[in-house]
A and B are shown apart, each in its own frame.
Chain A
Amino acid sequence: MNEYKAVIGLEMHCELKSNAKVFSGAKNAYDVVPNVNVSPVDLGLPGVLPTVNKECVKKALMMSLVLNCTQPEELYFDRKNYYYPDLPKGYQITQMHAPVGINGKIKIDMGDYVKEVLIHDIHLEEDSASLEHYSDASLINYNRAGVPLLELVTEPCFSSAMEAVKFLEYMTLVYKYCDVSDADTKKGQIRCDVNVSIMGKDDKVLGTKVEIKNVNSFANVYEAINYEIKRQSELKMANRYDEVLQETRRFDEESGTTKRMRSKVDAIDYKYFVEPNIPKYKISKEYLQSIKEKIPLLPLERKEKYVGELGLSVKDANIIIKNKDYANYFEECINLGIDAKVAANWLIVQILGFLNKMDISIQDFYLKPELLKQIISSLEEGKISSKQAKEIFNKSISEEKEPKNYITNDNEQISDRDKLLGVITNILENNKEQIKNYFLGKTNLFDYFVGQVMKETKGKANPSLVKVLLNEELLKYKEK
């Protein structure tokens, strides 16, 4: 099988986050009740016209910039014409002639290596209605009709299912980092089409391309690609490569196989033409610049910074960048002057542990970086022990009170020399008998004295300091 190499391309659809839909003012939100977010425009009622949502354009252009694409001078749209019950107008408004981005590239962390993925184009379009199929009928819910979608099309540049999935995972993260989408695969906000072909190691031309439509989870993308590589390779090995047709297939979750939908011959002619109801909109350099300024540091860039500049381990950096909010929390800590490794350690061990246990998000987490700093500073200044720090951490969260309350009033270690001396001399004065015994050889009485000091200071005395002072004071008795 491995005498062939696979060539894989992806189409990734991602629902954008916005208040209103892309071409109508209806709300862009998921709702369990069907048809609660609909406008006449979404339903294609006679006489309606599309209007373009500024926010969606901004987000689409942002992704185009993130992907290092070329942006068009003018924004405009095309109609993709076909009949299907989930498409009320009989056409989808999309971008064919002038996508928001073309010819892009982005670096993807593949684990052991970084790969530059080539982007064919990225375009803004509208989602279709959703259909529910029952035994005797299908029902149409238009809540999703007109929801903004970004479709990202890569060049066929992946060589394995793993690479494809890594790309999808990374892009999902990028969408979240840029706050353009919640990118929740469980809500169907990310959907993929995959195309797969194989070629011999020395072949110069690409093999027959097979497209697999609507694969709805990354696990399925992985399976579908591997199944398709296997299917095509087996046919090629058996000298039956002519049976690999240029066609559209679908992934059958149950059997883990792909099944034929239609061949190239049956391909639909979508009769694309420019949408006349949306005038061309000039995209100025200033406009692009203002969007560019809002692009946050991407996960891979952050990882490189964490490892290279801040000295984190790759493993720790990976954990932190997995979630934009973790990364932001971490960076806030750094900005507050907390040592990177210390911050990473607290975040990964204490905070993520707590979040996992409680199943809450870091945004709902009480101990913001500046509060965490109170604990860490006290620890560094030696005011509290690391055991105490953990206790304060938990107390502060459960009582939702700033850590400093526990540090000053309760838990702060007594390291004041004079204060401790006072306590020690007092104790020694009242234990003359024991001192005598101590000097007679009962050395374990030293621990007894320490225990007395701790008892007197309710455990707050700095133990190492107590030991030093105690030694000094005892010596004075010996001299006596």
Chain B
Amino acid sequence: MKKFTKEMVDDYADKLLIGLTEEENQMVLDEFNIIDESMELLTKIPNISSVPPMTHALDDFTYVLREDDAEESLPIEDILKNCDNYEDREVVVPRIVGEAHE
């Protein structure tokens, strides 16, 4: 059985809201086998489950948290210059129905 299928690749892509052409899908499939092989290398290093994952570039880093001072808002008019669809001060999107997160 093939480890990766076209459908799986499309599914991974879809979760990031991107579509792939047939050609791109095929390229990913080709690459995936190599990647998977090299990913397997990660699982071959012995006794690593006790190693704390390195999530930041610098460990033992100290810093101060930001003071709670409010600053001037950026004028929304300036920001909306980069926006293709807005109405007055607000960004417009197609009507959203019946979903929620959190």
A residues with CB within 8 A of B:
11, 13, 18-20, 25-29, 33-40, 43, 45, 51-57, 76, 82-87, 128, 131-142, 193, 213-214, 250, 261, 268-269, 273-274, 276, 279-282
**Nearest-neighbor residue (CB-CB) of B58 within chain A:** A279
B41 CB-CB contact with A under 8 Å: no
B89 neighbours in A (Cβ, 8 Å): 33-35
B88 neighbours in A (Cβ, 8 Å): 34
B97 neighbours in A (Cβ, 8 Å): 133
A43 and B79 contact, Cβ closer than 8 Å, known pairs A139-B87, A280-B56: yes
Instruction: Report the Cα distance A37→B75, complex, angstroms.
Output: 9
CB pair B91–A269 under 8 Å, yes or no, is no
B90 CB-CB contact with A under 8 Å: yes
Q: List 13 A-B contacts (CB under 8 A).
A: A18-B68, A25-B71, A26-B71, A29-B70, A36-B73, A38-B73, A39-B74, A133-B97, A134-B95, A139-B87, A140-B91, A142-B91, A274-B55
Q: Mark B57-90, 1 if CB is under 8 A from A, else 0.
A: 1100111111111110110100100000001111
B94 neighbours in A (Cβ, 8 Å): 137-138
B42 CB-CB contact with A under 8 Å: no
Q: Is the interface of B mostly helix, strand, loop or mixed?
A: loop
CB pair B73–A34 under 8 Å, yes or no, is no
Determine which of A11, A26, A137 lies in contact with B93 in the assembled complex, contact meaning CB atoms within 8 Å.
A137
A33 neighbours in B (Cβ, 8 Å): 89
CB pair A19–B92 under 8 Å, yes or no, is no
B96 neighbours in A (Cβ, 8 Å): 85, 131, 133, 138
B73 neighbours in A (Cβ, 8 Å): 26-27, 35-39
Determine which of A35, A52, A133, A141 lies in contact with B66 in the assembled complex, contact meaning CB atoms within 8 Å.
A52
CB distance from B12 to the nearest CB of A (A): 11
CB pair B63–A281 under 8 Å, yes or no, is yes
B101 CB-CB contact with A under 8 Å: yes
CB pair A19–B95 under 8 Å, yes or no, is no
CB pair B61–A261 under 8 Å, yes or no, is no
A85 neighbours in B (Cβ, 8 Å): 93, 96
A45 neighbours in B (Cβ, 8 Å): 79
CB pair B66–A51 under 8 Å, yes or no, is yes
**Nearest-neighbor residue (CB-CB) of B15 within chain A:** A269
CB pair A20–B100 under 8 Å, yes or no, is no
CB pair A54–B67 under 8 Å, yes or no, is yes
B51 CB-CB contact with A under 8 Å: no
Which 8 pairs of residues, A with B, have the shortest CB-CB distance? A55-B68, A54-B65, A274-B55, A25-B71, A35-B76, A27-B70, A139-B90, A140-B91
B99 CB-CB contact with A under 8 Å: yes
CB distance from A71 to the nearest CB of B (A): 15
B102 CB-CB contact with A under 8 Å: yes
Q: A18-B68, A38-B76, A213-B102 are in contact. List 5 more A-B contacts (CB 8 A).
A: A54-B64, A85-B96, A133-B97, A138-B94, A141-B90
Determine which of B15, B66, B95 lies in contact with A137 in the assembled complex, contact meaning CB atoms within 8 Å.
B95
CB distance from B7 to the nearest CB of A (A): 16
CB pair A20–B56 under 8 Å, yes or no, is no
CB pair A139–B69 under 8 Å, yes or no, is no
CB distance from B94 to the nearest CB of A (A): 6
CB pair B92–A138 under 8 Å, yes or no, is yes
CB distance from A361 to the nearest CB of B (A): 24
**Nearest-neighbor residue (CB-CB) of B55 within chain A:** A274
A274 neighbours in B (Cβ, 8 Å): 53, 55-56
B68 neighbours in A (Cβ, 8 Å): 18-20, 53-56
Instruction: Report the Cα distance A36→B62, complex, angstroms.
Output: 33
B98 CB-CB contact with A under 8 Å: yes
